[in-house]
Amino acid sequence: MSALAELQNRLGHQFRDEALLRLALTHPSVAHDANAPLPHNQRLEFLGDSVLGLILSRELYEKFPDADEGMLTKSRAKLVNSGSLSAHARPLGLGAHLILSRGEENTGGRERASALTDAFEAVLGAIFLDGGLAAAREFVLREFAAEIGELALPSGIENPKGELQELLQSKSPTAPVYELVSSAGPDHERQFLCAVLHDGAELARGSGTSKKAAESDAALAALKILREQQTSA
């Protein structure tokens, strides 16, 4: 099996045009070293950045139907930054496959966060051109499933579970209990449904792409109900 074939297995996408993948892995230093206008990955990086933003924006738009533009923007910024993208590039082994100039190679270019970030976006751009938006979305959702699932709810409440426990224990020594009601869907789009109970009574339910996210959503729903009850009392 060739090195690029192994990489494609890790990416979860088999390229019809393997030249696109090689281009995505070609660092601009190659053109600089040759002092010639050789093709490199910056154009694909530009495309991949936009594709990534589109896919994550849609996911956040659907995940947080009550969030305003500012909240959605902040949530997307937590997902997309140079640190997070280079962290995704490393397990994929992109650094080992980068095509670099000799100078860039000798100065640690394969492990440089900026080079890995650019390569990750360029590879996404290449997947988009080779397989369309569906292939790009599948790759992004697989890569970001954990982060999206654990993303804090943009509600102005940083810790819904903690705030709910504090509110309930101000009146009772009993802590809330979370129970998994159900889970369904493929691994990269799995949905969990959790209930939060107090003194044996169900307060609310919540959903999310991880058990932790569903519990937070349930806590947020319970807080809303309890505070509305306090207001009307």
**Quick one: the chain helix, strand, coil %, rounded to 5?**
65, 10, 25
DSSP 158-192: S-HHHHHHHHHHTT-SPPPEEEEEEEES-GGG-EE
Structure tokens that stand for 101 in this block: 């100039």
Neighbours of 2 (CB within 10 A): 8
- Catalytic, out of 45, 49, 104, 215: 49
Complete edge-to-edge strand list for the sheet that includes strand 177-184: 177-184, 191-198, 201-208
Q: Which DSSP string corresponds to 64-98? A: -TT--HHHHHHHHHHHSSHHHHHHHHHHHTHHHH-
Give the pair of three-digit tokens for residue 209: 């792409």
199 assigned to active site = no
d(CA 213, CA 76): 16
Decide: 114 and 40 in contact? Cβ < 8 Å. Answer: no
**Interatomic CA distance for residues 93 and 169, integer angstroms:** 48
Q: Is 111 designated active site? A: no
Which member of 121, 130, 138, 217 is catalytic?
A: 121
What is the set of active-site residues? 49, 121
